[in-house]
Amino acid sequence: MKTLNINLGDRSYPIYIGHNLLNDKEIFQRHAKAKTIAIVTNDIVAPLYLNILTQTLGKDKKIIPIILPDGESYKNLDTLNLIYDELLKNKAGRDVLLIALGGGVVGDICGFAAASFMRGVDFIQIPTTLLSQVDSSVGGKTGINHSLGKNMIGAFYQPKCVVADINLLNTLPQRELSAGLAEVIKYGLIRDLEFFNWLETYMKKLTNKDSASLIEAVERSCTNKAEVVEADELESDKNIRATLNLGHTFGHAIENEMGYGNWLHGEAVAIGMIMAAFMSKELGWLRTPEYLRIIQLIELAGLPITPPDISEKKFLDLMMSDKKTKGNQINLVLQTAIGEAMLTNEYDPEILSKTLTHNFS
């Protein structure tokens, strides 16, 4: 097992990465001392892993299983309310521990429930998708969607630990694995050229779920994420945590327009990263060979490389309502090289228009 630490003063916590961690009693004895534990999961993950986790936690715990409907379209206030209902019906107090057992949807919503229930209770992340192991479970962004925009309601709230068990990925559908690889590639693109080079060599092994390669990819991704979050926990500097949103402003517009869940988050981000790379190339900031390497790696990861058909006007409207927009010119994370990115609104708007109307197929 590998342990990374995320250093945030009194909000510091370990990230455990390895095999069979769901069965590791020692980890849970150390971090799950509460007598009452609510396991928040969904109706896909519960039949696979809820019993194992319950057994690992031990017979002396009062376990409250909270099984949510599956899917991004349920990442909303009604579902959040189901968690509060169950906690209150079971007379949970401030000493309850919440455990998120699921992908990014469960992790984000459970984290926000933990941040807000009785003004804040402890929670642990057990991410069960690649995307949640490399990104959403680390760094404390929690929240839900609103019909007018994605992740519009939420809080920064750090977990007590993250347990990334690679074995859980054995049951993950291939399409979801690829979606997770989009966020893995993102770290290479924004700050880690060596990792990008490594991914070019190991992508085939990753899509084949080779476990040693997956462990390395999760570890290198979490190391990058931890460094970024340590430098800018609350995303207050425009060139640090904000760069993690590479491809996300384009991607959120796609998710919103196509209907949450029809395009997976990682798929939309992959297209967003291609659009950001195209725009960077057109601005003369990124060299054409680097642009082509980016498309090639994204395609090798089994991800789409052609945006859905959305009019320029619709795209712009949706991007303007993204929370990263300030003033009239949309803030975008753009590339100056593979391994270098920055948030900026200083670009020629004609090039954005060209990007939104370009035929990528």
**Footprint of ligand NAD (CB under 6 A):** 42, 44-45, 48, 70, 72, 75, 102-106, 108, 128-129, 131-132, 135-136, 139, 141, 151, 168, 171-172, 176, 179, 265-266
Query: Closer to ligand GLY at the Cβ: 251 or 302?
Result: 251
81 catalytically annotated: no
Catalytically annotated residue among 31, 191, 241, 324: 241
Catalytically annotated residue among 160, 220, 225, 281: 225
Query: Closer to ligand GLY at the Cβ: 6 or 21?
Result: 6
Query: d(Cα 116, Cα 77) in Å, to the nearest integer?
Result: 12
- Note every long-range contact of 316-321, with CB atoms under 8 Å and residues 24 or more positions apart, other chains counting: 316/356, 318/252, 318/253, 318/256, 318/257, 319/249, 319/250, 319/252, 319/253, 321/148, 321/149
Token pair in block for residue 100:
């998120």
Which residues, 130 to 169, sit near ligand GLY by CB under 6 A?
135, 139, 141
DSSP output for 17-45: EESSGGG-HHHHHHH---SEEEEEEETTT
93 SS3 class: coil
Query: d(Cα 142, Cα 1) in Å, to the nearest integer?
Result: 26
Query: Closer to ligand GLY at the Cβ: 231 or 320?
Result: 231
Nearest Cα to Cα of residue 125 among 219, 47, 58, 27:
27
Cα 342 to the center of its chain, rounded Å:
19
Q: Return the one option of ligand GLY, ligand NAD, none that residue 241 interacts with (CB less than 5 to 8 A, by type).
A: ligand GLY
Query: d(Cα 354, Cα 279) in Å, to the nearest integer?
Result: 8
Query: d(Cα 102, Cα 108) in Å, to the nearest integer?
Result: 10
Query: Closer to ligand GLY at the Cβ: 139 or 159?
Result: 139
Catalytically annotated residue among 160, 191, 252, 281: 252
183 catalytically annotated: yes
Query: Crossing angle, helix 77-89 and helix 104-116, to 10 degrees?
Result: 60
141 catalytically annotated: yes
Which residues, 228 to 267, sit near ligand GLY by CB under 6 A?
241, 244-245
Catalytically annotated residue among 176, 183, 216, 255: 183
According to the binding rule CB under 6 A, does residue 290 interact with ligand GLY? Answer: no
Residues of the shown chain interacting with ligand GLY in the complex, contacts defined by CB under 6 A: 135, 139, 141, 241, 244-245
Show which residues are catalytic: 119, 141, 183, 225, 235, 241, 245, 248, 252, 265
